[in-house]
Amino acid sequence: MTSPAIRSMGVFPSQRIHQLIRDGAVYADREGIDLAGQVQPASIDLSLGTKAYRLQASFLPQADTVAQRVEELSMYEVDLTQGAILERGAVYLIPLNERLALPAHVRAKANPKSSTGRLDIFTRVITDHCARFEEIVPGYRGGLFMEVVPRSFTVKVRTGQRLNQLRFYDMTDGGMSASIRELEIMSRLEFAQGQELQDLYNQRELLCDGEGRFIGAPDRHLGADGLLMGVNLGGDDDTVIGYKTKKNSKALDLDRIGAYRAEDYWEALHPPRRGRLILEPEEFYIFASKERIRIPLEYASEMVEFDAGTGELRTHYAGFFDPGFGHGAHGEIRGTKAVLEVRPHDVPFIIEDGQILFKMKYEAMTSAPLIHYGAAIGSNYHDQELRLSKLFIKTGAPLPSGAGKI
């Protein structure tokens, strides 16, 4: 498949994010932006500011500024400059270091980073006068604020840490006058769908099996606007197929990479009898996908719920996947497994080996990024099988390579 030329609409690659920073559309008051550390292939990492507000409840500012609502809802302030504890189950709001002065044709969307989602830290970004979480309207000028709710673990955080990321979209055919409903419709149209998605799937071999072989008859995997993927519960009796959080664990310091033993915080799960597993309501689980996914450099991807009608459970918290994930610079990687962050609601829910639980949507880049997801830029999960957050001692097998047609 030929690479698309520079498009008037789509996701900004790393070099266009650098241009936004040079133009002052993205800036930071405190110490500036760490270009090498924060700019990713299709997003920029957002960093924590100097303080957090403990809130009575979550909110959307609607017609107000965030500062106005914080004044009403704040219980107390927490200084983050030397590190501070955020208690499990409490709601915090943290002003971020980065600020925006977006052009009228550029909108943005936030999402938790992978490590944040795998720690069951619920985060979402808001802005002044916003009516939706995570969505930044075209032409927005002002600060960014992140709601943080540690769900399973008490955590220690400090100024400068990066829990969320921001993806930018060129909307040359849209504009500031677009309503919330119109923005929602336009964002859906940005995803590859129909014949475009089918051609992309076949020509770039987007899904592979566990051995890296292209899944060439994708009837159950190819949806109208995304790839449908299942959960892996299979293996020998000793195989770990997932993890469930333990109660009342010690606090996690988010600066301590590779410092914690998984068994102190997680219960390992093994293949269930008859391939079925009962998930308990409001418990948090980590699983891997059955299939391996590939994301060519000309596309970014986002994990979304497959269908709310398939069950009362959430299957992910961190949804952005960068160009090059499971693909490499030249298509040399034969897919990487996606990791699912699962929380059932209301009632126990049974899942089966291979059951479709989530969808991967593909968004065209305005052009291919100059960097790609992988070891060269220090990506933490480029070689993952089933993988916990980077805070835990790493386990897992290497990626398959060279299997099947490239």
User: Half-sphere exposure (CA, 13 Å, Cβ side) for 23?
Assistant: 11
* Tokens describing residue 85: 């504890």
- One domain for residues 134 and 218: no
pLDDT for the residue numbered 8? 59
Of the candidates 208, 243, 268, 147, the one whose C-alpha atom is nearest the C-alpha of residue 399 is: 208
For residue 309, name the pLDDT band (cuts at 50, 70, 90). low
Q: Is the predicted pLDDT of residue 243 greater than 80, yes or no? A: yes
- Residue 23 included in any domain: yes
* Cβ neighbours of residue 366 closer than 8 Å, sequence gap 6 or more: 6, 7, 8, 9, 10, 11, 12, 13, 16, 170
Q: What are 81-125's pLDDT values in tens digits?
A: 999 999 999 999 999 999 999 999 999 999 999 999 999 999 999
- One domain for residues 160 and 232: no
Name the domain boundary from 161, 187, 213.
Answer: 187
Q: How many domains does the chain have?
A: 2
- One domain for residues 15 and 147: yes
CA dihedral 218, 224, 225, 226 (to 10 degrees): -20
- Residue 397 included in any domain: no
Q: What are 161-181's pLDDT values in tens digits?
A: 999 999 999 987 544 444 444
- One domain for residues 364 and 226: yes
pLDDT for the residue numbered 307? 59
- One domain for residues 183 and 242: no
User: Half-sphere exposure (CA, 13 Å, Cβ side) for 310?
Assistant: 14
Q: Considering just the CA atoms, what is the radius of gyration of the chain in Å?
A: 21
Q: How far apart are alpha carbons 117 and 58 in whole angstroms?
A: 18
Query: What domain range includes position 328?
Result: 191-377
Judge if pTM exceeds 0.85. Answer: yes
Q: What is the CATH number of the domain that holds 112?
A: 2.70.40.10
User: Half-sphere exposure (CA, 13 Å, Cβ side) for 359?
Assistant: 17
- One domain for residues 213 and 324: yes
- Residue 149 included in any domain: yes
Sign of the C-alpha dihedral computed for residues 291, 336, 8 and 12 taken in this order = positive
CB 389 within 8 A of CB 353: no
Sign of the C-alpha dihedral computed for residues 214, 220, 226 and 228 taken in this order = negative
- One domain for residues 269 and 146: no
CB 323 within 8 A of CB 13: yes
- Residue 389 included in any domain: no
CB 390 within 8 A of CB 258: yes
DSSP 42-53: S-EEEEB-SEEE
Share of residues in the chain with pLDDT > 90 (%): 76
- Residue 129 included in any domain: yes
* Tokens describing residue 341: 């962050």
- One domain for residues 159 and 205: no
